[in-house]
Amino acid sequence: MKIRHPDIDSPSVAAIFSDPVSLRYLTGARFTAGVAVVGRRIRTLFVDGRYIFKARRMLGRKWSVVRSGGDFAGVFHRLRAGGIQTVCVDPDSLNASTYKKILGASNGIEVSDAEHLADLIRVVKTPKELAVIREAVRLTDELWTRLRWIVRIGMTERELSSAIKLEAMRLGAEEMSFEPIVASGPATAEPHAEPGEKKIAGDEPLMVDMGLKLGGYCSDFTRTPFLLRRRGSPPAWFVRFRDEVMGIQNLAYRLISGGCRDPVTISKKIGQRLKKKRLTNYYLHSLGHGVGMKIHEEPYLSPKGRTLRDGMVFTVEPGLYRRGIGGVRIEDMACLWRGRFDVLTKSSKELSWRM
């Protein structure tokens, strides 16, 4: 994996990564512990005795694999010998203890904070990465199709969450991207509600937010159908929220398809629509976020987001929430590729399910 980033382009500069996501991205192998040092002229992986044979077997000559004692003294000794004068670290990807160890072991080498570096080196996906993500999204669509026939009146939110995880494994998922969010009734007003022992009663909204991992890459997905037990249609508040959420999502799609790559502009247009519809107070989170080896990473579709570029993968997930009543969120995954905007998620967006 070639790292392209201006912070580590000089031969006297290297970057240190120790979080498991970065280790897998850089090496292609799964390590729960280790230190990867990368730069223009260095590519060294430090691991303890648990991983030394695995690392040498899997990485071959692509990496210099060194057995470490669990501290950073040996890391910096090797860096000094290689002429490295500055080490970049991403404080977002390190815990406080690791960061203190790095500072304590630097011994004359400058330690430079490179905020968001771990995310930014992964933000543009390769064709191979995008192919894996597409397959993860396809499996998530299939998972949603299966759940349509699993959901039943009387099962608890926690039972449905367990069923989601079981079906994901049956489909071949490596693991879940995150613990599924299953909420029914007024709990749908909480964007990150936790599934509990509440029974799904029907004649109420059901929000399912889920994702699975395939080859280390995540998917993310949300739908909020209204479960109808009786004749009739969903209540007016739900129909309004659902129609407006769809309207916001379609507005974002039109803007990006039309060439807008600035999340600030997209957020401003959505804000104007919300204000006109008097819905601003019900819009509680940003439009979307990047997805890759982490479920939340660059780019972020928010007023402070970075410019969208080819190879970026992200969600478009508007939601409206009214405390004590309920909410609606619809989430697709999308990408930019060769100048074209592509919605990866194919699942339908029914207003209601007849139970």
Could you list the beta-strand ranges (E) of 94-180.
110-113, 175-176
pLDDT band at 1 (very low <50, low <70, confident <90, very high): very low
β partners of residue 14 = 39, 87
Across the chain, mean pLDDT equals 92
Which of 146-150, 189-193, 231-235, 292-296 is predicted with the least confidence, judged by mean pLDDT? 231-235
β partners of residue 321 = 327
* Residue recorded with tokens 């597409």: 134
Residue 8 has pLDDT above 80, yes or no: no
Structure tokens at 331: 């989430």
Residues of the chain with pLDDT > 70, as a percent, come to 97
Instruction: Name all domains of the chain by residue range, CATH numbers in brackets.
Output: 6-120 (3.40.350.10), 127-354 (3.90.230.10)
pLDDT band at 351 (very low <50, low <70, confident <90, very high): very high
307 alpha carbon, distance to own chain's centre: 18
CB proximity list for 179: less than 8 A, separation 6 or greater? 161, 194
Given a contact cutoff of 8 angstroms between Cβ atoms, the answer to whether 299 and 305 are in contact is yes
- The CA distances from residue 80 to 9, 41, 211, 262, in Å, are 17, 13, 43, 41
The whole-model pTM stands at 0.92
